[in-house]
Structure 1
């Protein structure tokens, strides 16, 4: 399996042979050609209105140097593009907004992948009355 991104000898991040600065200067269609198939298809088929609003909010945040202020969004199916790197998003998981800080290694994935919607269940021991058979405890 080939590695999509790697850190070069100097510690500089590269994604499919392009540095982060080169990726950030590219147009969205050029970046889409480098992304995995699912993210590429999402972009080439056309992003929705909410997706475009999120892209504009990310561009405004980088232009205003307010990268520390989180961008709140419900759009979990937005592919992470190079303009999102070093920004903080608060992604809605169905109950609350959880903070996601985008790093270069996340390019090509979706925002929702880094904010789980389901919690893991850890069951305890059954108590008295939990089952029908536990109602009849011998009185010794």
Structure 2
């Protein structure tokens, strides 16, 4: 990859548990699983399901093609972010729409769904006339 990934500190290269991004990308999936948190490690050790395997294959093909114009669409919010995904763009389904998620090195060890929110924040306006029982008796002028 031609991009240079850095941490928040000035001049430091990204590392994940003592390994650089290049080292992580060259590792086998089982070796990467040893570095991940327990829940993600368990899902990889037990075996990714059929849909997750397909998504992993799509990501590997997309990495070879190097076309970042169209994101990889997926409903798999429970897919762990692997080092192979860094630099790719996914369209993760939120329940209503597909939101773009560009995978950065800091996302390794999380789920794809953590970066596409499913709930919107609600901003209520002022209560109008008739909105509550007490507002019936508010004088208009």
TM-score, length basis structure 2: 0.88
Match of 1:66 in 2: 67
Contact in 2 for aligned 1:7/1:14 (Cα 8 Å): no
Q: CA deviation at 1:68?
A: 3.5
Q: Is the 8 A contact 1:82 1:107 kept in 2?
A: yes
Tell me, yes or no, if the aligned pair for 1:67 and 1:87 is still in contact at 8 Å: yes
CA–CA distance in structure 1, aligned partners of residues 68 and 13 of structure 2: 21
Contact 1:8 1:14 in 2 (8 A): no
Give the aligned partner of residue 97 of structure 1: 98
Structure 1's 110 and 136: CA in aligned 2 closer, same or farther, altered over 3 A?
same
**TM-score, normalised by the number of residues in structure 1:** 0.89
1:12 and 1:19 in contact (8 A); partners too: yes
User: After TM superposition, which residue ranges in structure 1, 4 or more long, deviate above 6 angstroms?
Assistant: none
Aligned residue number for residue 125 of structure 1? 126
Give 1:81's aligned residue.
82
- Determine whether 1:114 maps to 2:88: no
| 1:126 to 1:51, Cα distance in 2 relative to 1, 3 A | same
Contact 1:68 1:87 in 2 (8 A): no
Q: Aligned with 2:67: secondary structure? A: coil
CA RMSD in angstroms, aligned pairs only: 2.0
Alpha-carbon spacing, 1:17–1:68, altered in 2? closer, same or farther (3 Å): farther
